[in-house]
Amino acid sequence: MRRRGFLAGVAAALVHGPRTWAAAGSPAFLAAARHPDGSFWLHGLGEDGRDIFSIALPARGHAAAAHPERPEAVAFARRPGTFAAILDCATGQQTAALTAPSGRHFYGHGAFSRDGEILLTTENQIETGEGRVGLWSVAEGYRRIGELPSGGIGPHDIVRLPDDGFAVANGGIRTHPNTGREKLNLDTMRPNLAILASDGSLLDVAELGEDLHQNSIRHLAVDDAGRIAFAMQWQGDLYDVPPLLGVARPGAKPELLAAEEIIQRQTQGYAGSVSFSGDGSTIGITAPRGNLAVAFDVSTGRPSQIVKKSDICGIAPTKLGMCATTGTGQFLRLEANQSHLIRNDDLSWDNHLVSVQK
Amino acid sequence: MRHLIAALAFAGALGAAKADEQTIAAVVDDHIIPAFAELDAAADDLATEARKDCAPTSEPLRVAYQSAYDAWLGAAHLQIGPLEEAEFAFALSFWPDPRGKTAKALRRLIAAKDPIAGSGDYSKVSVAARGFLALERMLYDDTITGDAGYKCTLLRAISDDIAATADKLHQGWLDTHAASFKSAGAPGNEVFPATEDAIRKFYTALMTSLGFDAEARIGRPLGTVQKPRPRRAEARRSGRPLRNLRLSIAAQRAFAAALTPAGQDDTAPQVDAAFRRVLDQIAEVDNPLLDGTASSTAWLKIDIIKQDIVAIQVTVDGTLGRDLGLFVGFNSRDGD
């Protein structure tokens, strides 16, 4: 197998010092939050929801990416941001910053290569609207070293796959910083799920049917078997009630999962995050506009649990099931088809709950 | 000194919880329970009229339908408690329905003379064939044709089902949910661990409902000035699009008033003025079907109402939301 050098990890032994996530208290998750005084913080949380650390952020972020070994987090600005901070979660210090190259902006998510050498970031090539994946060398202080086509327009989430490749959610929506988040191509949008090989080459692009061309593929989760769950945000008539969750394996046609109509309607056509359960038996999506989360049984494709919580959005796996966060300060565990309120704080948990890989 | 400050802060928190308790009790007892009691009674009248005369042209039946639908608009904004629990909201109002599922479901039942209609177990059918929009089709849509005897049975089944649903909603509030809200913050209340959780629930319901009025009730028929979409209006066959909007806004005005804590001198008049502006616009617009196709002026008048509903949301957010210390929609409004 031919591989380009950038993911081969030849220099791995040199840059990996002894510092690991243990130095930051071994958090299970990263989550950003707005505190009552209006400040924004990145929290490291245990699987039981307890605070392990918190680091002040300069502004509201979108997602974070956790380095696979080093206690380092990348906190991305909200799109169309051009800034991301590298935070040392052991010391609470910012150790580096990413600035998008001229003519590019970030779309809010990133992922690391398995060896931790390369950070990949989803980006917009502003002039053409083409999606890009930016490449940054961790060992060189997060220096920009190149970029790849994302395989579509408006790449949002990116996750690493068990075979060391990556999945990219190309949301299909073209935006331009001059018009903020205005959607410029709703009539012609064509979202896709793109699969990149470990060398960065584009392996596969899966599109949905014509009737779902306005279903923006935005967020991703992957399980140990390499199944990719993708959550969508519908841009068409809200009351057409489309599915908002799909499951794909590289090379196979994605399968779409939907609950019965009365549940689908409540989601308001908008899924905010997606996660597998720790045992891989269920997939949860959150619907903050509908104030609910729906867990689907992977074997039957049918919903197995509905959780109604205001502004629920972050979701991530635990050993037994999943946990979720809300914009109203709640941290919940969803296990064995029960939901348990673990924490209820005077703060707003932000969009995503990011797993720190073990 | 430190003890004194701590004690004062504690007393302040207790005072806030006490004020919340009063607000919750006022909302439940003076707004929610009466709204569902009225719906329950009006839906019973509807079922009674349908039993007396099931002819779609029966004037008493149509009047009872309109009254019960009116009563639903007095409660439809309260998508909390029992309305949030099962499929009750859809079972009473399956709308918007861009794919015409209600008509399809009714035609299927009629063509098959499905015995479910006479079984007393009509709640088992698809929500699309239940509620006010299904009944509207039976009363006002002459393209729903078929065996007259079966149609009569079906119309009565839909009416009885509306009455049964309304009864469950009313009883649900009386039996369980009133106590659940009113004991917010008390030990053992897992639904509302703090009084603020119940207040937030009310507030979110108000904002959601205002959003539905702006985006669906008026936004769908409004369309664009180039392409108004009057056929997408709610309950247009029974002439109710503007009426539904008016009743919904009026009900939310009362809800917002009940939710406003005592002692907030500026908030109540500001919020009320925002609601009144919309109701004044509605009173002036002579367009019961929200049909913007006649002229760009007609369209613009509808658009102004929509803008003013959005302005209510902004006002409520900046006054009531501020007073209540609520920051709603951190994620849902971020949209990413």
- Structure ipTM: 0.84
- B273 pLDDT more than 60: yes
Which residue in chain A has the smallest CA separation from B97? A239
- The closest CB to that of B334, out of A218, A341, A351, belongs to A351
In angstroms, the separation between the Cα of residue B216 and the nearest Cα of chain A is 10
Q: Would you put residue B188 in left (φ > 0), alpha (ψ -120 to 50) or beta?
A: left
Beta bridge partner(s), residue A170: A155, A192
pLDDT digits (tens, 9 = 90+) for B180-214: 999 999 999 988 989 998 999 999 999 999 999 99
User: Using beta carbons and an 8 Å cutoff, which residues of A are at the interface with B?
Assistant: 34, 62, 78-79, 108, 156, 181, 218, 237-240, 261-262, 265, 270, 272, 288-289, 291, 308, 310-313, 326-328, 341, 344, 348-351
> Contact B330/A327, CB-based, under 8 Å?
yes
Beta strands A338-344 and A93-99, pairing class: unpaired
Q: What is the pLDDT of residue A11?
A: 40
- B177 pLDDT more than 70: yes
Q: Is B167 on the interface with A (CB under 8 A)?
A: no
CA distances from A81 to A85, A181, A349, B11 (A): 12, 11, 20, 44
Sign of the CA dihedral with A84 first, then A4, A206, and A188 last:
positive
pLDDT digits (tens, 9 = 90+) for A342-353: 999 999 999 999
| Residue the block writes with tokens 């929290």 | A43
> Contact B335/A262, CB-based, under 8 Å?
no
d(CA A90, CA A42): 13
Q: How confident is the model at residue A80 (pLDDT cuts 50, 70, 90)?
A: confident
Q: Is B97 on the interface with A (CB under 8 A)?
A: yes
The percent of residues above 90 in pLDDT, for chain A, comes to: 85
The answer to whether residues B173 and B33 touch, using CB atoms and an 8 Å cutoff, is: yes
Nearest Cα neighbor of A129 from A64, A178, A165, A168 is A178
The answer to whether residues B256 and B209 touch, using CB atoms and an 8 Å cutoff, is: no
- The closest CB to that of A351, out of B90, B98, B336, belongs to B336
pLDDT digits (tens, 9 = 90+) for A153-165: 999 999 999 999 9
Q: Is B265 on the interface with A (CB under 8 A)?
A: no
Tokens representing A67 are 């380095």
Which residue in chain B has the smallest CA separation from A157? B336
Mean pLDDT of A246-272: 91
d(CA A164, CA A137): 17
Q: What is the pLDDT of residue B323?
A: 86
CA distances from B309 to A150, B163, B204, B257, B274 (A): 41, 31, 16, 16, 8
Tokens representing A73 are 């987090």
- A155-160 sheet: strands from edge to edge: A155-160, A166-170, A192-196, A202-207
Q: What's the one-letter identity of residue A56?
A: A
Mean pLDDT of B126-145: 97
- Asked if the peptide bond before residue B96 counts as cis, ω within 30 degrees of 0, the response is yes
d(CA B15, CA A100): 50
Chain B partners within 8 Å of A351 (Cβ): 331, 334, 336
Chain A partners within 8 Å of B190 (Cβ): 341
Q: Is B188 on the interface with A (CB under 8 A)?
A: no
Out of A258-262, B10-14, B62-66, pick the least confident: B10-14
Q: What is the pLDDT of residue A5?
A: 34
d(CA B3, CA A319): 44
- The closest CB to that of A265, out of B90, B193, B197, belongs to B90
> Contact B329/A239, CB-based, under 8 Å?
no
| Residue the block writes with tokens 């029966």 | B58
Residue A6: how many CB atoms within 10 A of its CB?
16
Which residue in chain B has the smallest CA separation from A154? B336
The percent of residues above 70 in pLDDT, for chain B, comes to: 96
Tokens representing B56 are 């779609």
> Contact A350/B330, CB-based, under 8 Å?
yes
Cα B135 vs. chain centroid, distance in angstroms?
A: 17
> Contact A327/B332, CB-based, under 8 Å?
yes
Nearest Cα neighbor of B195 from B8, B18, B11 is B18
Which residue in chain A has the smallest CA separation from B91? A262
Q: How confident is the model at residue B52 (pLDDT cuts 50, 70, 90)?
A: very high
Chain B partners within 8 Å of A62 (Cβ): 336
> Contact B336/A237, CB-based, under 8 Å?
no
Tokens representing A187 are 């009539």
d(CA A104, CA A132): 9
- B12 pLDDT more than 90: no
